[in-house]
Amino acid sequence: MDAVMNGAIAGATTVLITNPFDLAKTRLQAQGELVAEGHYKRAYSGVINTLIKTSSSEGIFAVQKGLQAAIVFQIIMNGLRFGSYEIVKDIANEQFHLYNSHGYVKVLSNIGISAGVGCFSAFVSSPFNMIKTRLMLQTKDLPCGNRYHYSGLIDAISKIFKQEGLKGLYAGSSIMAFRTGLGSAIQLPVFDFTKEHGKKWIRNQTELNMVASANATLWLCLLTCPVEVALTRYFNQQFDKFGNPTVYQGCFHAIKIIFGSEGFLGLYKGLGGLFFRSGPQSFISLLIVNQLNSLRNQKKKQ
């Protein structure tokens, strides 16, 4: 339970800082939808430009659109992800002896556990990420910005459930699970691996955490950006009266038609925003979790 609380606290704290960058990432990913580069007028030219334009045209607090949904999403996802990771790791070790002779979980076992708990936590929290995405994309600056009209989190849940039922709330949950499972399989093992081998050269624990977080974030962003773009597009597309998608049928179908219409770089739209969001998010979340775990262990020793 302590691990669940630590993850939830870390997620809720971090999102207060990273939400504007998440908004910039989301809007950059959505612009020029299925149009070749050079054949549409760019609403935004980068992360900073997106934040400035959003503030000037929609008000200074507009950069925090979707914050309420983002907080709930992070509390559920990070609470389950970090909590389940430690619990499953300990249970699996009792059954299968996952730790090596140096006291670290074997790499492949770590990847499997991380991916599994990532998929589970993402599926459960998926509705709040979808609502966050739609709230962030409510803008006159983008052609796709008028598809949904929600006044907030509760209004969004109510409208989606009334119109599409539970199926509508969990639209895109499989892509969300895949994205987060992939991200978890990259982030947590790379973080642990870097810490394990980096301690030979870096003695300061905080500095080691920073290096490990930066390395984990780098690989996370490079490998998950195409799926991030597909997820944003899937969440914000329109659905028919039966709750079926009208454009993107799934993750790989979305990647295929985005690549066909927008080229390879279309799959990396919003990469800068993803770095700005994921960098602080990964570092601060992992740092807070590690510090809370350290405090918990110190109290147990007393």
Question: What pLDDT is recorded for position 283?
Answer: 73
Question: What pLDDT is recorded for position 264?
Answer: 97
Question: What pLDDT is recorded for position 302?
Answer: 63
Question: What pLDDT is recorded for position 101?
Answer: 59
- At residue 301 the predicted structure's pLDDT band, cuts being 50, 70 and 90, is low
Mean pLDDT across 55-60: 96
Domain of 261 in residue numbering reads as 2-293
Question: What pLDDT is recorded for position 76?
Answer: 92
* 174 assigned to some structural domain: yes
- The average confidence (pLDDT) of the chain is 89
Residue 173, pLDDT above cutoff 90: yes
* 156 assigned to some structural domain: yes
* 153 assigned to some structural domain: yes
**Considering its fold, how many domains does the chain have in total?**
1
Task: Give the range with max mean pLDDT: 9-18, 19-28, 81-90.
Answer: 19-28
Residue 58, pLDDT above cutoff 80: yes
* 300 assigned to some structural domain: no
Q: What percent of the chain has pLDDT over 90?
A: 58
Mean pLDDT across 120-149: 95
Between the CA of residue 137 and those of 22, 56, 94, 102, 128, what are the distances in Å?
Answer: 11, 16, 46, 48, 14
pLDDT in tens, 192-221: 889 888 988 998 988 898 888 888 888 989
Nearest to 278 by CA among 45, 15, 73: 15
Q: What are phi and psi for residue 239, nearest 5 degrees?
A: -120, 150
Question: What pLDDT is recorded for position 43?
Answer: 95
Question: What pLDDT is recorded for position 97?
Answer: 66
Question: What pLDDT is recorded for position 8?
Answer: 81
Torsion angle of the four alpha carbons 260, 265, 269, 274, in this order, in degrees rounded to the nearest 10: 130
Domain CATH for 141: 1.50.40.10
- Tokens standing for 193? 């691996």
- How many Cα atoms sit within 13 Å of 206 on the Cβ side? 3
Question: What pLDDT is recorded for position 9?
Answer: 82
**pLDDT: which is higher, 144 or 89:** 144
* 299 assigned to some structural domain: no
* 61 assigned to some structural domain: yes
Mean pLDDT across 111-118: 82
Give the predicted TM-score (pTM) of the model: 0.88
- Asked if residue 179 lies in contact with residue 227, where contact means CB atoms within 8 angstroms, the answer is yes
* 298 assigned to some structural domain: no
